[in-house]
Amino acid sequence: MKFTDRKSRSKSRHVAAAAGVLAAGLLTSMMGPAFAQEAAPATATSEAPSYTEQFLAKRGDNAISASLAPFYRIPALADLGDGVVLASYDGRPNGGDSPAPNSIIQRRSTDGGKTWGAPTFIARGQIGSGANLQYGFSDPSYVVDKETGNVFNFFVYSKNQGFFGSVLGTDDSNRNVTGTALSVSTDKGLTWSTDPSNIPTLPAPQNYAPGSKYANFDGPLVTDVVKPVGVTVGAVNNVGGVVGQFASSGEGIQLKYGVRKGRLIQQFAGRVRNAAGTEVIQAYSVYSDDHGQTWKKGADVGSAMDENKVVELSNGDVMLNSRDNAGGGGRKVAISKDGGETWGPVTYNSALKDPRNNASIARMYPNAPLGSQQAKVLLFSNANASTRSNGTIRYSCDDGATWSAGKQFKSGYMAYSTVTALSDGTFGLLYEGDSENIVFGKFNAEWLNPFCGAQVTAPAMSGANGTTVQAQISVKNIGDTVLEGSTATFAPQAGWVFGSVAVPAVAVGQTAQVTVPVSIPSYAKAGTFNLTAKVSVGEESALGSVPVTITGGASTNIVGLVIEGSATDNARNLATNPYAVDSLVPYQFVVNSLSNVTAASVPVSGNFTPFIPADGAGNCRFSAVNVWAGYTCSTPKHKVTAAELADGFFVPLTTWQVTGTGATTQNYTIKGDEVNLVDRKPSVAVTVAPGVFENKDASGFASVGDVVSFAVTARNDGNVALTGVSLSGATGAAATLAVGASTVGTFKHTVTAADVTAKQVAAVSVAGVAKNGVKDVAKTGTGVAFALTLAPEPTAPATTAPATTAPATTAPATTAPATTAPATTAPATTAPATTAPATTAPATTAPATTAPATTAPATTAPATTAPATTAPATTAPATTAPATTAPATTAPATTAPATTAPATTAPATTAPATTAPATTAPATTAPATTAPATTAPATTAPATTAPATTAPATTVPATTAPATTAPSGSLSDDTVSAGGELTVNGKKFKPGSTATFTLHSDPVVLGTAVVRADGTVSLTAKLPANVPAGAHTVVISGTGTGGEAAEVSIAVTIAAVDGAATSSASASPTTASSTTAAAAADGLANTGFGLLPLGMVGGLLLLLGGVLAVRKISIRGARH
């Protein structure tokens, strides 16, 4: 048979097999109340050969620890079913074996090895430093309990000594005793009993503490079991004592057949003291018959043994295959008839090349029935040279009696390897490649392309029940080409075990003869039965009838069935055509007799219709199932419920009863695999909301002991319902989620001193896990850092800095456009020339100027103040505007000493008469407030020519305002084109708060940004392309340092097409820059203000609601 035939490789189905009360020895170990068989799809399919690889660990990647694990070695691999694959290996700080402080690292896959999770520690070593003593863990090996779902990992526990340096004894506190650690996982490898958070302080006690969830398991150290001290024989002490030992890395096994079914076996190599008082390296098994609660050591075997592995053969024997420590170039083999307790003689297999390397041996089809041809197919991975190179997979079709030449998977360097069958029907390989990187390979049977049998035809045979007879099979080539790769066997028959033999190449028309063993069931009664010989080449088979006469025969009547169920709508595309509520899912049951009398097969209950007899036509009852016969019931259908559709699957569950004359009634419960109703894609999304501060000490500020709460949301963003939902560290979340539903838990973080120092709580990460049937999902959500508001440092009273002297500056003259007023009818009058006496003004917070009677709204200049100057008298028409007084606003003042300019007399000028009567408004003085003062040096301003009406100088008393920390802002550019990019900067906002950036006049939100820890915030945004040219304002809205709402307005000019003038862009709280301008009249430059024109223009602009300032920046507080 070509074992790429999908009939031989499909996933196992649940099978029940039972028998009634039997006479001793009538029921062989191939039967039981329930056992698994390889499925046989109705239609065989073929796949393209496939071998793929990926690195799981590369030297120097420091994927888990730069100090503990820059080097890797020693692979272990296990398949847990349902796509879960575990890979573990040594992480080594310096590349050395024990007693180096190595660690056991694991990566986990949930999709059959396609992708892998991040590396984690199963057990973490410790580098010696000061009071911290060195210890380490090395050489992992998995043992999977398929009956309970638990998985174990054995490894070395070393302190000061390794394998060759260890001394006798079991005291793990003795640093010269090399121990053995045993870790257990009850959640499919997610967590381990030797996780750094679980394992007790080393050296650990021999057993887990009472109350631990691992308390029922032996461990975490089993040195006392695997390393006995021996006994005294004659004058020799410690005979049989193990001086040093290690578990053979890779994978142990669980027995599938016989009275020891379920036994867990892990192989060891030990330095064993013999009766001569010398040490010999021997192999031995450590096994458990209670699912890992206790372990026992088996007998020692061989000499010059080393890493050794075991495999259960098709007859239930256990075969040991060992590295040769003596370097003979082959493998040492022994057979155990009692599940590893004792061993037969060691033989040598030189066909399996071995350069003193750790190899692997495994079943290709681990769920194959006892005695079946598939059960005989073994895999062997190792180097295939005299050096560690050329990694090769070999197969055997005869329980390891012979081996294929093999297929190479790695050229060049290749050291330790381990191979195992995966639950998806492919095969996994973990090996040490170049630079001892850990590499995972995955291949299918088509890549290996094993041929393990030949076509069978045979004359009539006879034999007693419970015996094996040899079928002499003739294979004739009736085709038109050479017959190669053919397989001779028998068609499957419940209860029978048939051999499979490869047929030599047969020329056209020629015949080859092979011998195929046939095992007759022990419960068979005497009689004749026809078997069907089968010759297969590829997907094709030829059949022939072969009569078998059974002699002797069982005397006790028994009944039993093999029941296999499977969905039949396998061609349905569930992604495009899912089932719906009330849809009917077709299903079938294949029932075969394990009885030696005619039996009645009756379905009792189940979630199918029609199924039980009460359902009427189409039910699965069969009143008379003949010996060696069977039937297929293909009528049942399962009606989909709303709950099942929400889950995306249903689980077949049926009960059956079989009865027969004179036989004990047997009852079966058959639970099938989950049947998908949709293309199941379970998923959970986890989000962490911004934190909420809980001020435990009511201080108003963050301090150690306060709490920041985070709302954590788990949302079902898959397409099927989730159960077992949990959020790590969070409380209050629901355990089940419908599609699209969410649950919210609370994660509380208590503020620490480190948080206070950092002025924030770092971003919180919360892991969410959930299940959908046998599928597990996990996702981690991460929030944002939470800024802490701390109590302010004590503030000293404001002080006035010593006066500093800045040189006075004179702004260049500016010329306003000339305007012509219409002539008036009033007669011209000439005001006599008057000379204004020089007056000295005290220091004020704004430049002291002589204004006309009409007072324009005051604008506040920055802190520099020009010295008071006295303008010379000028002769002008005496026209006085009615006095209007605007409220004064004062900027942070600088006080300059008063200076007196010499009086100058300007020539009289005559202005046209105006019709308004001359009225004089009294001068008004606005109170000034003064910020921390700086004093400019006294300067003398040049004389200016003003209208003849002179207002007396006013003195503004200086006052000192308290210091503020109001926000401010600036732009990257004063002017920007529509559609251009602009960077807006702000400072003195509350750290951690959010600031919003808006462009006015028609508000357009440019974006938001989080304020940095130093109170600054910035945003670079692209302006809308349709913004009109001209003056605009950018507003930063946010929270001030004191917690109050605050805004900063910054003027900006949007350039016109022809390039409009720019406006300066800067910001400070409630402050506008002062400006000094020199006006030009009649084309001549003046050295001061022309007060009348300025007053007239100012008044006009005031009446029109214009804005005199080039820019205005304001801070609007919470009152807005």
Annotated catalytic sites, by residue? 97, 307, 416
Query: How many other β-carbons are positioned within 10 Å of the β-carbon of residue 1081?
Result: 14
- Cα(304)–Cα(316) distance, integer angstroms: 27
- Cα(799)–Cα(801) distance, integer angstroms: 6
Burial class (CB in 10 A: 0-12, 13-18, 19+), 25: exposed
Contacting residues for 507 by C-beta, under 8 A, at least 6 apart: 477, 482, 483
Strand partners, 675: 650
- Cα(902)–Cα(746) distance, integer angstroms: 79
- Cα(169)–Cα(273) distance, integer angstroms: 12
- Cα(35)–Cα(562) distance, integer angstroms: 9
Q: Which helix (H) or strand (E) holds 1102?
A: helix 1091-1104
Contacting residues for 1070 by C-beta, under 8 A, at least 6 apart: 860, 889, 966, 1114, 1115
Strand partners, 39: 10
Q: How far is CA 865 from the centre of its chain?
A: 64
Are the beta carbons of 588 and 634 closer than 8 angstroms? yes
Amino acid at 1112: K
Q: Which helix (H) or strand (E) holds 645?
A: helix 642-647
Pairing of strands 250-251, 253-254: unpaired
Could you tell me the CA-to-CA distances from 231 to 138, 235, 445 in Å, in that order? 29, 11, 49
Quick check: helix, strand or coil at residue 332? strand
Query: How many other β-carbons are positioned within 10 Å of the β-carbon of residue 295?
Result: 22
Are the beta carbons of 585 and 685 closer than 8 angstroms? no
- Cα(1009)–Cα(993) distance, integer angstroms: 9
User: In sequence order, what E strands does 1055-1106 have?
Assistant: 1078-1081, 1084-1085
Are the beta carbons of 101 and 127 closer than 8 angstroms? yes
Burial class (CB in 10 A: 0-12, 13-18, 19+), 607: middle
Are the beta carbons of 1098 and 1029 closer than 8 angstroms? no
Instruction: Show the tokens assigned to 165.
Output: 């340096």
Amino acid at 693: F
Could you tell me the CA-to-CA distances from 1093 to 80, 1040, 1079 in Å, in that order? 95, 43, 9
Quick check: helix, strand or coil at residue 171? coil
Please report where in the chains the tokens 């606003």 appear, as a residue: 889
Are the beta carbons of 176 and 165 closer than 8 angstroms? yes
Are the beta carbons of 581 and 638 closer than 8 angstroms? no
DSSP-H helix ranges across 764-876: none
Instruction: Show the tokens assigned to 832.
Output: 């006599």
Please report where in the chains the tokens 């793990």 appear, as a residue: 172
Instruction: Show the tokens assigned to 247.
Output: 């578990």
- Cα(111)–Cα(288) distance, integer angstroms: 30
Please report where in the chains the tokens 């355990």 appear, as a residue: 735
Q: How far is CA 1018 from the centre of its chain?
A: 33
Quick check: helix, strand or coil at residue 373? coil
Are the beta carbons of 243 and 234 closer than 8 angstroms? no
